[in-house]
Homo-oligomer: A and B are copies of this chain.
Amino acid sequence: MPRRVAIVGTGHSKFGVRSDASIPELAWEAISEAMKEAGIEGRDIDLVVMGNVGGWSSEPLPAIVSLEYAGLEGKPVYRVEAACATGSAAIKAARDAIASGDADIALVFGVEKMNESPTPTVVEFIGRAGNYFWEFENFGLTFPGYYALYATAYMSKYGATEEDMCMVSVKNHYYASHNPKAQFPRKIDVESCMGSRYVAWPLKLLDSSPITDGAAAVVLASEDVASKLTDSPVWIEAIGAASDTSNLSKRAQFTSLRAARLAVEQAYKRAGIERERAASEFDLAEVHDCFTIAEIMAYEDLGFARPGEGYMLAREEQTYIGGLIPVNLSGGLKAKGHPLAATGVSMAVDIVRQLHGRVEKGRQAPIKRGRAIAHNIGGTGHYAYVTIYSSSKPR
């Protein structure tokens, strides 16, 4: 029987263009908050797992420079990378270490400083994160282009409109307007989204998550230790993970991500959740809306809507508080920002605070079941990590 693992502390930097802070400084904003919340000191930490995609920084050992700055040099540490799902993969690695008995307390942090990217540019660098040779070098595909392929396939097959996608952006900006840590804490309307310039038709600027600097951190603990540190641990109930082909051209389907479906299936099986009833099992979900079409696909891959009906949830505002299931009350990648490796950790931070009932007014979900889900995608569906968090102790 593996040991149960809980989150006992959370930390989150301001997301945005953070030319005021270096990588270790950004990391420290999140780490110091998480350690304080957990009530621990450096000597209590048995393992550090650091998430960072990098490639845009001159620091090739960001884990080490961050630990030295945080006064945590000496700790066992490694860096994890799973593209934009890095943060969730890092949480899984630390969870495994604690569950196995290797560590009692682990610190996980994800940090990214994307705005200082040298050549290649951020867009070029991210664009390579499919199959470099076949799809970037030969066809010039970048990430807006990839997700535009999903959007056109989805629109053509199911009749969704550009307005439906803009509805996702409007919702996420609405909730970001209540989240002071968000990169864009301001509301937009469908008209301004529809009027924003095309990045890759049918996706517009306001369908797209931004280039973000930021950090997030969580402290994980074993059951015994968690019970000493806090009265309100949030348990990692189940994790599902999967991957998919490097080449998009080898995928069988473009209106759903196979990796996400596999990861969801694994997570639901482990938590004993029926896919058909999934929307009623969670108080809220944080999903990977790198582009608005991705959030619509996520609704379907998570079982919140049947295939081809996800866009109706957006159109009918069913993923606001009070609807079928509230989604991305943090502002999502779209409006909170998307510092790649920080994103999965940021989802965990916001979910813990939501389950505690302590986020800002206007974006706090009613907490009834004490359960929430994070859906974190890497690349264009190359990686998927799905994590179920619960304020009740898992069986």
Contact = CB atoms under 8 A, between A and B. Distances in A.
Interface of A: 1-3, 47, 53, 55, 58-61, 63-65, 67-68, 73-83, 86, 89, 92-93, 95-102, 125, 128-133, 137, 239, 241-247, 250, 258-259, 262-263, 266, 378-379, 382-383
A77 B68 contact: no
A96 B89 contact: no
B243 A100 contact: no
A81 B95 CA distance: 18
Contacts of A59: 128, 132
A36 to B, nearest CB: 22
Contacts of A79: 80-82
A1 B99 CA distance: 10
A102 B91 CA distance: 13
B96 A102 contact: yes
A129 B65 CA distance: 10
Given A61-B129, A77-B383, A82-B78, A68 B102 contact: no
Please classify the interface of chain A as helix (H, G, I), strand (E, B), loop, or mixed, using the class held by over half of its residues: mixed
A58 B132 contact: yes
A34 to B, nearest CB: 19
A250 B64 CA distance: 13
Q: Which 4 residue pairs spanning A and B have beta carbons closest together?
A: A76-B241, A99-B100, A78-B89, A100-B100
16 contacts: A55-B60, A58-B132, A61-B129, A61-B379, A64-B243, A65-B132, A68-B131, A68-B245, A73-B250, A74-B242, A74-B262, A78-B86, A78-B241, A80-B93, A92-B102, A96-B102
A114 B35 CA distance: 38
A63 to B, nearest CB: 8
A128 to B, nearest CB: 5
Given A2-B100, A75-B242, A78-B89, 20 more contacts: A2-B101, A2-B102, A58-B133, A59-B128, A60-B83, A61-B83, A61-B382, A64-B382, A67-B243, A67-B246, A73-B250, A74-B242, A76-B263, A76-B266, A77-B383, A78-B82, A92-B102, A96-B97, A96-B102, A99-B101
A125 B58 CA distance: 9
A266 B76 CA distance: 10
A213 B132 CA distance: 19
Given A2-B101, A68-B247, A242-B75, A128 B60 contact: yes
B128 A73 contact: no
A274 B101 CA distance: 22
Contacts of A130: 61
B61 A250 contact: no
Contacts of A55: 55, 60
B243 A77 contact: yes
